């Protein structure tokens, strides 16, 4: 399972011109599910992300987590995190889990983030989404758990 985590001042997901989820200060989490991923990987990532100290304290040091600042998370499924571009110019996505496996795991991950005390919204699995990310810093962290 792969997550690209961005510290944001705002994040929003729209589908067909309609806002489906929106947050202020917090994290936008682009989440990819690969073959063999399950709840163990989701739980590890949820705990790690909820406690990542990537927000600044009063001294300007990254010492605070999204929970510490009372922030939120926006979880967006993104199978393209499993793009393989080693051959040719067109990415292959054979490493990404099929939707019937990935969709419930993305939902479970969002619930696990909530269980960590972080309010979390989500995109719409499989939809063409417009994702607005106001990356703060910028701070972008890559996490992976096999």
Q: Residue 44: which domain range?
A: 2-139
Q: Tell me whether residue 135 is in a domain.
A: yes
| Structural domain contains residue 81 | yes
Judge whether 144 lies within some domain: no
> Which one is catalytic: 6, 41, 55, 78?
78
In a domain, 105, yes or no: yes
Instruction: Given the residues 80, 93, 115, 116, select the one marked as catalytic.
Output: 80
What local confidence, expressed as pLDDT, does residue 38 receive? Answer: 97
- Is 146 a member of any domain? no
- Confirm whether 103 is domain-assigned: yes
CATH assignment at residue 128: 3.50.80.10
Q: Is 115 a catalytic residue?
A: no
41 is catalytic: no
Instruction: Flag whether 6 is in a domain.
Output: yes
Say which DSSP state 25 is in.
Answer: S
Annotated catalytic, 86?
no
Q: Do the beta carbons of residue 102 and residue 93 sit within 8 Å?
A: no
pLDDT in tens, the chain (146 residues): 999 999 999 999 999 999 999 999 999 999 999 999 999 999 999 999 999 999 999 999 999 999 999 999 999 999 999 999 999 999 999 999 999 999 999 999 999 999 999 999 999 999 999 999 999 999 999 999 88
pLDDT value for 146: 83
Q: Does residue 25 belong to any structural domain of this protein?
A: yes
Number of domains in the chain: 1
User: For the chain, percent helix, then strand, then coil, each to nearest 5?
Assistant: 25, 40, 35
Catalytic residue among 6, 55, 79, 109, which? 79
- Measured CA to CA in angstroms, residue 21 lies from 11, 13, 137 at distances of 8, 5, 22
pLDDT the model gives residue 13: 98
């Amino acid at each position: 399972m792969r997550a690209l985590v961005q510290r944001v001042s705002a994040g929003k997901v729209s589908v067909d011109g309609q806002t489906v989820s929106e947050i202020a200060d917090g994290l936008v989490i682009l989440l990819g599910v690969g073959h063999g991923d399950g709840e163990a990987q989701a739980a590890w990532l949820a705990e790690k992300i909820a406690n990542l100290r990537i927000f600044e304290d009063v001294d300007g040091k990254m010492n605070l987590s999204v929970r510490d600042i009372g922030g939120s998370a926006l979880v967006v499924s993104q199978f393209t995190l499993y793009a393989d571009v080693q051959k040719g110019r067109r990415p292959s996505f054979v490493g990404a889990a099929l939707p019937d496996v990935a969709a419930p795991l993305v939902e479970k991950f969002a619930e696990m983030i909530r269980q960590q005390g972080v309010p979390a919204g989500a995109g719409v699995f499989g939809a063409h989404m417009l994702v607005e990310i106001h990356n703060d810093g910028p701070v972008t962290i890559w996490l992976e758990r096999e």
